[in-house]
Amino acid sequence: MFVVGLATAMSASAQTYSGTALSGLAYSAEYSADAQYVAASGSIPAYAALYTADASTSGDSPAVFIHGPFVGTLSSLSADYTLLSSESGPGPGNVQPYWILYLTDDSGYTLPIVSTDGGPLNSSSLVHAGDLTHGSITLSALDALIDPNSGLPYGPETVAWVGLEIGNGGSGAANANIESITITSVPEPTTMTLLLLPFGARLLRKLRKNRTA
């Protein structure tokens, strides 16, 4: 029981937002209609609607954000989303939403971590951070680099916001209708968990010894 409880304490925690849960997220928009929650209507489920009249980097970049904090190493964070299909709703538009992360030490929202491509986010995803000094690297490799805000490695820092954004590349109008978002983080072991690890190992050895006796 102890060993099971210890493993549970350090297991991944997944949170999925869909349906009316999307209405409680934070919508960042240049204009009021650029990022908004759209309630379900008939056979069309609720979704987070992102629209930009200009998908180039000079245009606005609407986004939907989930507020953390999300603890654990940066590379242990993973996320995914589903877009509405053309059969079940207005369709995903012509752009893949990309991930944007803000850390707790970036209260001025000046140095986001942005995924290079759309699709799922995980330790092997290419990202760039802040002013692109390091170019695109994997989220896992970013763990060891120094965050200019804190002067400490990115890895153990806490993620305050996880968002999906459009508008950083391409040209012309673009839209994305997001049906669900899933965030998974692996919390770091607490001090008490670390103190109990030797006891758990001894208990496990004793149980194995009793079985073989």
Could you tell me the pTM of the whole model?
A: 0.78
Q: Are the CB atoms for 44 and 179 separated by under 8 Å? A: no
Between 1 and 48, the higher pLDDT residue: 48
CA 186 to the chain's CA centroid: 12
**Which among 10, 37, 8 has a CA at the least distance from the CA of 22?**
37
- All structural domains of the chain, each given as residue ranges with its CATH number in brackets, are 12-186 (2.60.120)
Sign of the CA dihedral with 55 first, then 58, 60, and 63 last = positive
Q: Is 135 left (phi over 0), alpha (psi -120 to 50) or beta?
A: left
Q: Is 194 left (phi over 0), alpha (psi -120 to 50) or beta?
A: alpha
pLDDT at 99: 95
Sign of the CA dihedral with 176 first, then 179, 165, and 24 last = positive
3 state DSSP class of 179: strand
Between 89 and 55, the higher pLDDT residue: 55
CA distance 197 to 203: 10
Query: Maximum CA pair distance of the chain?
Result: 73
pLDDT tens digits, 58-99: 668 899 999 999 988 899 999 999 998 533 344 445 568 899
CA distance 86 to 22: 20
**Which among 182, 178, 158 has a CA at the least distance from the CA of 12?**
182
pLDDT tens digits, 169-178: 777 788 889 9
Q: How big is the chain by its Cα radius of gyration, in Å? A: 20
CA distance 165 to 51: 10
105: its two tokens = 């030490």
- Contacts for 204 with CB less than 8 Å, ≥ 6 apart: 3
Read off the pLDDT band of 161 (50, 70, 90). Answer: very high
